[in-house]
Every structure is written in C-alpha cells, then in structure tokens.
Structure 1
C-alpha cells in the first residue's frame, strides 16, 4: 500500500507538471503575446503567484476529493486514483503535442469519475456533487465570454477616442499586474485539484481520515505545476495568445481581468473550473466586442470539441485501466 501511495504522489506531480503545459501557460499567454512581459519574467511571476494562490485556499481540493465519490466507500481506492492519473496524464500529453488547449481539469475529473465507475459501478458516484462540478465547468466559460465582452465594450467606450499608441502603452503596463492576478487566481483553483486527488488516495489507503489537505501536498503540487509551465507551456501560449484573436494590450487586460474574476468567484464557491476554457472564452469575448470577424472561430471550435470529448475519453480510459489493475 505504501508503494502504491508513493507511486500515486509521483504520478500526481507528473500530472501537475503536464498541467503546467496547459493551464498555467494560459495565465501568462496574453501578457507574453503583447510583449507586456518577457517569457522569462512571465514564467517567474506565474510560478510565484501560483504557489501563493495554491497555499491560500483548499475548498476546491476538498470538493474534488470528496464530492465525486466517498473514498472510504470505494474498495481499491488507491488503484482508482492511479488509473485516473494515468488517463489524465495521457490526455494532457496527447493534446499538448497537437497544441490544443484542452482542459486538465476535465481530464482529471473525467478520469476520477471513470475510475470510480470501473471499480464500483455507477452507483458509487455521488451524483449531487458530480452534477455541481459539471455545472460549474459548463457555466464558467459562458460567464467568461459574456463578462469579457462587457468589459471590453466598456474599455472601448472609455478609451476609444485616445491615441492607439498611448492606449497600448498604458494597458501593456497594466497587464503586468493583471497577469500576476490571473496566475494567483489560477493557483487558488487549478493547483487544488491534484491536492484533492492525493488526499482521496491517502484516505482510501488509510493514511488519513479527513479531507484536510496536508501542507506538504500543497507545496509539492504548486512547485510541480510551476516547473511544468517553465518547461513546456509555450505551445499552448502560442495557441491561446495568437490563434484565437490577434491580441492587443487592451484585449489582453480585459481577458485577464475577466478570467481572474470568474476563476476567483468559483473558487469562493469551492467549485472547480477549467482555467483553459475560462481564459480562452474571455479572450473570445473581448475579441468579439472589438471585432467579431477578428476572432478565429475555427480554433474556438476546436477548443469546444476538446471540451466535449475530454471527460468521456478520459473516463472511459480510466475505467478500462481500473479493470485491468483489478485483474
């Protein structure tokens, strides 16, 4: 059992590392694309603010670890977590290779749900908690698009008559702060998901009896995500920062402000969101407010398709792996 727990922790850190490819990279994509921050400075800021954010809240971790299923009622719970992590890591690497900003959150939630079903059947899923998680994942990008549109519309109304050079210079400066805020908000939500899965495994293995997140789990997960961002996030930064719309500093600030507000709002509700889809939707909303034809809706469509298929694919793969582990 101790060997399996150690393996789960290592795989969880690998997942957070690959999560850095996807989700933390999104937090700094706009500021890098508009040259408000150099890539090196953006990575350092994202890593530091993610770490602080990850240590600040634990509500989302408790939701992931306790609302999908009760770890005390799942036989072979550690193998369930093992299968979920393998499925989620595979999907993260697959979509990273093709530069698709799919959701690590969806991958992990789909993997954990599928693994629970593979081990104990559909009756083991806590449908009330699972439904609240799915509702948050669905509504948060919609809210981000609407709020991004509204904020950009207001900014255009206020600054539309000013010199474009002066506007760009001012908002490029403001992006230094908005990128830091977005990275912090990202840490308050995304970093907690793997913490919740590790805690689920600790409870299932008999090493812990409550959903209180150990401090060492918080530190390891936050550090792993920051290292992942620094190592391989540039593919996703390129997609989010240039292939959805041509981002200007005012767009970047509007989308940063929008996604920060949406992510933090759901964190206060203790609900997980996909930062990938929140940030991408905020960018689309701000772009549509300025020039709808400037939004690359084909790339937006690819993101939506990835959103739709991630949970079913990772769920099926995790269920299959769980059955193989139990043979």
Structure 2
C-alpha cells in the first residue's frame, strides 16, 4: 500500500467519524423543540431525524462543491493530503468537547476551522481562498441567525394571535404541525451538513489523484456520508438536546412550530445557494426568536455561553487542526499514526467524563442544566428509569399529549430492556 493511498483511506474513515459526531451533535437542531413540547417522543424523534438526514444528504451537492473545490488551493493540498486528516481530527475533538458541556456550537465551523488551520500550517496562508471563506461562511454565519430569529419571532406572534394557549384543540393542531416542521428541519439539515463530509472526502480523493479536480462527489461518497450522519443522529446527542429544548426558553407547541418553520426556510435557502453555514446557528436563532416573539423569559446566560462557543469555535478548532497538521505532515506516516493515537485517547477521555452524569432519552427533559463534573444531583443526573417509573411519572399529567408521550417512552424503555436481557442471555 502506497503512502498516498494510506493517507486517503485514513481521511475517508476519519471524515465519516466526523460525520457521525456531526449527526449526534446536531440532532438537537431538528428535534429539541419537538421533544420539549411532547410532539415527538425522544427515541422516535431521533429515528425520524436520522432517516430524513440520510434522504436530505442525497438531494443536493452544492455545499459539497463549495468545500471540495472552493475553499482551498487544490494544487497545494495535493502536495500534503495528510493536512485534511489533521483538520478533521481538530473538528472531531472540538465536537466532542462541546457535546460534553451540552453547548450547541457549530459542527460546520469546527470542520472549517480545523481544515483552515491545517492548511495554513502545512501550505501557508495562500492555500486558503479567503474570498470564499468570507462570502460563503463568515458573512452567512453573521446574518443567518438574525434573519431566522426575526422570522421566528414574527411567526410566533402570528401563531399566538391565531391560537389561545389554553385552547387544547389549537395546541393539538400545532403539536401535529410540529411533527411536520421538525421533520422538514431534519431534511434540510441533511441537505446542508450531510454534504460537508462529502466535500471533504472528495477533496481528499482529488488530492490523492483518485478523482479529477472540479468533479462532483461520487455515488459511494454520497451514500456513505448520508448513512454516517444518519447513524449519528439516531444515537441522540441528548446533552445538547437538553440545552436547546430546555435551557434557552420555555417552549410550547406554537413556538416550536414557528421556530422550526423559520429554520427550515433558512437552511434550505442557504443549501440552494451553496452557503456552508451552520444549521446550529440558524436553529438556535429561531428558538431565541420564538421566545422573544412570545415574550417569555429567555435564559441569556445560557445564550451568552453559546455565543462565546460560536465565536471561539473557528479559531480553537483551527489551532488544534494546525498542531495536528504539523505533526502529521512533518512526521509522514509515523506522524499520522501519532495523531490517530492522540485522537483516540482524547475522544475516550471526553466520553468517559460524560459517562459520570449521563443524559439519555428518559431524563433529557428533567432539567435545564448539563452536569460535567463528577457529582451526583437527583434533579440533574437522574439515572435511566424503568418502564413502570416512566409511565407513572408521565401519565399522571392532565395533558393528553403527556399520556401519549408516556406510552412511547414506556415502549422504548421496554424494547431497550428486552434487548439488554437478550444480550445477557446470549453472553
């Protein structure tokens, strides 16, 4: 096996791993509001989002083209394709770190930051097409959340003019509408974020000489990237879903419907234009706008933490991508293997820390806070519950939607317990 082929294989595998982290990191974008209002049960929400992410990833390739032959100088990257792997390593570590803290930062900006830092260290400043970066990434990142927030605020005002919060019929209509609007966000997310990994893999294939410059992603790249982001979405990303569903504003069904509709329009428009912007920024802006439009209390402290995470994502991922690029490019195959080891160790350390206070489908709505340190708190770190506990807690509510949600959760818990028992019997 040649060195170039080895590097390309490593890049493809790492890119699909990043795509998986993108899926669970961003699953909250589509479904956090629907889970918070009870329109979808948690497990059903991530299943629907996963399927629609895969479908959406196969609908368009405009964003993939922006990344594969728009952001970087192809000739410079062909001299050192290991820099692509280094950029992906930086993006994966940043995704896992922000997931640990429950911060809905941008997976897209983590990817772009990691790649830009890696290319700058290995190929110099001229290796980056800064005009494309500014026009397709920076400016849309500043404008899109504001536009989505204003649209969501206006839609929320109209929704509450049409529906009284105390009217159960109106709430049921909006809750059913949420199922459609949340599904559309998941589909739109696939058309945007699902393509970014396609662009990276195509960039690696071009750099390795296995694909002609300027060509579209190959069919197997589209299928693999779509499947990876779908599997990641199905895994849940519950820590970030808790923050977006509970930590920003209290959301009812009319708000959720308005926020999701505004997000869908903004994401689909950006994908059509080839803007590689962040779906996280858009969805968060819509949620904040819905809270402002209704006049409910907004947790500006949480919003401020998220804003800081947004600002530092590009440069921090760029620093990590630059460091890993220096090791991988200067060290050759040995350097690449060293970066792989560092990536595995860092990822396992973050996952182990998250396991101390686990958030899953059964306790995602228990609190607004995500606990990171190793401590126990009954309201913040409630362990997964049994079927009987879930049913008794939720069916006691007066709202009929809670009863439906309880049945869904109980069914999911029963399936999980049966699967575990089957595994134990086989063992």
Instruction: Give your verdict on TM over 0.5.
Output: yes
- The partner residue of 2:182 within 179, 182, 205 is 179
Contact 1:76 1:119 in 2 (8 A): no
- Flag the 1:76–1:317 CA change in 2: closer, same or farther, 3 A: farther
Q: Provide the residue aligned with 1:316 in structure 2.
A: 319
Q: Provide the residue aligned with 1:262 in structure 2.
A: 266
Cα distance in structure 2, aligned partners of 1:257 and 1:171: 12
Cα distance in structure 1, aligned partners of 2:185 and 2:326: 39
1:253-312 C-alpha deviation (Å, 9 max, x unpaired): 0110010010011111111121111111100001101115x1111111111101000000
1:31 aligns with 2:34: yes
- Once the two structures are TM-superposed, the CA of residue 158 in structure 1 deviates from its matched residue by 2.4
- The 3-state SS of whatever aligns with 1:238 is helix
More displaced stretch, 220-229 vs 94-103? 220-229
More displaced stretch, 249-258 vs 32-41? 32-41
Taking the TM superposition and a 5 Å limit, the aligned residue runs for 1:40-51 are 40-51=43-54
- Once the two structures are TM-superposed, the CA of residue 47 in structure 1 deviates from its matched residue by 1.1
Q: Which has the higher contact order (CA 8 A, sep 6+)?
A: 1
Q: Provide the residue aligned with 1:247 in structure 2.
A: 251
Taking the TM superposition and a 5 Å limit, the aligned residue runs for 1:173-322 are 173-209=176-212, 210-292=214-296, 294-322=297-325
- The 3-state SS of whatever aligns with 1:326 is helix
Contact 1:54 1:218 in 2 (8 A): yes
1:84-136 C-alpha deviation (Å, 9 max, x unpaired): 10000000011111111111000001111111101111122111111112111
Contact 2:49 2:234 in 1 (8 A): no
Dislocated runs of 4+, deviation >6 Å: none
Q: Provide the residue aligned with 2:156 in structure 1.
A: 152
**Cα-Cα RMSD:** 1.3
- Once the two structures are TM-superposed, the CA of residue 40 in structure 1 deviates from its matched residue by 2.2
1:122 aligns with 2:125: yes
- Once the two structures are TM-superposed, the CA of residue 326 in structure 1 deviates from its matched residue by 2.3
- The partner residue of 1:112 within 111, 115, 122 is 115
- The 3-state SS of whatever aligns with 2:59 is coil
**Gapped runs of 5+ residues in structure 2?**
331-427
More displaced stretch, 224-233 vs 144-153? 224-233
Q: Provide the residue aligned with 1:101 in structure 2.
A: 104
Contact 2:27 2:46 in 1 (8 A): no
- Flag the 1:63–1:54 CA change in 2: closer, same or farther, 3 A: same
- Once the two structures are TM-superposed, the CA of residue 155 in structure 1 deviates from its matched residue by 1.4
Cα distance in structure 2, aligned partners of 1:76 and 1:136: 31
1:84 aligns with 2:75: no
Contact 2:163 2:171 in 1 (8 A): no
Contact 1:24 1:225 in 2 (8 A): no
Contact 1:32 1:38 in 2 (8 A): yes
- The partner residue of 1:166 within 163, 166, 169 is 169
- Flag the 1:284–1:47 CA change in 2: closer, same or farther, 3 A: same
Larger Rg: 1 or 2? 2
Flag the structure with higher helix content.
1
Cα distance in structure 2, aligned partners of 1:325 and 1:47: 33
Cα distance in structure 2, aligned partners of 1:188 and 1:229: 14
1:226-263 C-alpha deviation (Å, 9 max, x unpaired): 21122241111111111111111111101100100100
Contact 1:71 1:201 in 2 (8 A): no
Contact 1:71 1:77 in 2 (8 A): no
**Gapped runs of 5+ residues in structure 1?**
none
- The 3-state SS of whatever aligns with 2:276 is coil
